[in-house]
């Protein structure tokens, strides 16, 4: 629910309803590089 993150803005439409729904979907595209372990002296 977007309101859980403080996103409360919305706009009423002339046809009824609202512009932004409450449910959100997050899509992440991430990459990671594993670093070699460092030796402790």
Number of domains the chain contains: 1
Burial class of residue 6, CB neighbours in 10 A (0-12, 13-18, 19+): exposed
Range of the domain at 4: 1-25
Whole-prediction pTM: 0.38
Q: Is 37 contained in some domain?
A: no
pLDDT on residue 31? 97
Q: What is the pLDDT of residue 23?
A: 85
- Domain-located, residue 34: no
- 1 neighbors 21 (Cβ within 8 angstroms): no
In tens, the pLDDT along 1-41 reads 878 878 788 888 888 888 888 888 889 999 999 999 888 87
Asked whether residue 40 is domain-assigned, the answer is no
The number of residues making up the chain comes to 41
What letters, b where the CB count within 10 A reaches 16 and e where it falls short, cover 13-41? eeeeeeeeeeeeeeeeeeeeeeeeeeeee
Cα angle 11, 16, 20 (rounded to 5 degrees) comes to 35
Specify if 6 maps to a domain: yes
């Amino acid at each position: 629910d977007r309101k859980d993150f403080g996103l409360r803005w919305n706009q009423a439409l002339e046809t009824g309803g609202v512009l932004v729904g409450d449910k959100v979907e997050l899509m992440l595209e991430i990459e990671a590089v594993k670093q070699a372990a460092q030796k402790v002296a």
